[in-house]
Amino acid sequence: MPEPQHGRRPQERHETDPMAKNTSGRGQRDLKVQVKSARGRKLSSTRWLQRQLNDPYVKRAAAEGYRGRAAFKILELDEKYRFLVPGARVVDLGCAPGGWCQVAVKRVNAMGEKSGKAVGTVLGIDLQEVEPIPGAEIHVIDFLDENADTQVRDWLGGSADVVMSDMAASSSGHKQTDHLRIIHLCEAAAYFAFDVLSPGGTFVAKVLAGGAEGDLQKLLKQRFTKVANVKPPSSRSDSSEKFVVATGFRGIEES
Q: Pick from 167, 162, 163, 98: which is nearest to 135 by CA?
A: 98
Q: How many CA atoms lie within 13 A of 27 on its CB side?
A: 2
Cβ–Cβ under 8 Å, residues 171 and 178: yes
195 is in an annotated binding site: no
User: Is 145 marked as binding a ligand?
Assistant: no
What 3 state SS string does 16-73 have?
A: CCCEEECCCCCCEEECCCCCCCCCCCCHHHHHHHHHHHCCHHHHHHHHHCCCCCCHHH
DSSP state of 85: -
- 126 assigned ligand-binding residue: yes
Backbone angles phi, psi at 64, to 5 degrees: -100, 0
Which residues are known catalytic residues?
Answer: 206
Residue 120's nearest CA partner among 100, 105, 103 is: 105
- Asked whether the beta carbons of 185 and 210 are under 8 A apart, the reply is no
Q: Give the 3-state secondary structure of residue 153.
A: helix
For residue 166, say whether it is annotated as part of any ligand binding site. yes
Question: From CA 105, how far away is CA 134, in angstroms rounded?
Answer: 8
Determine if residue 98 is labeled as part of a ligand binding site: yes
Q: Element (H or E) spanning 230, and its range?
A: strand 224-230
Query: Annotated binding site for S-adenosyl-L-methionine, which residues?
Result: 98, 100, 126, 142, 166
Query: Annotated binding site, which residues?
Result: 98, 100, 126, 142, 166
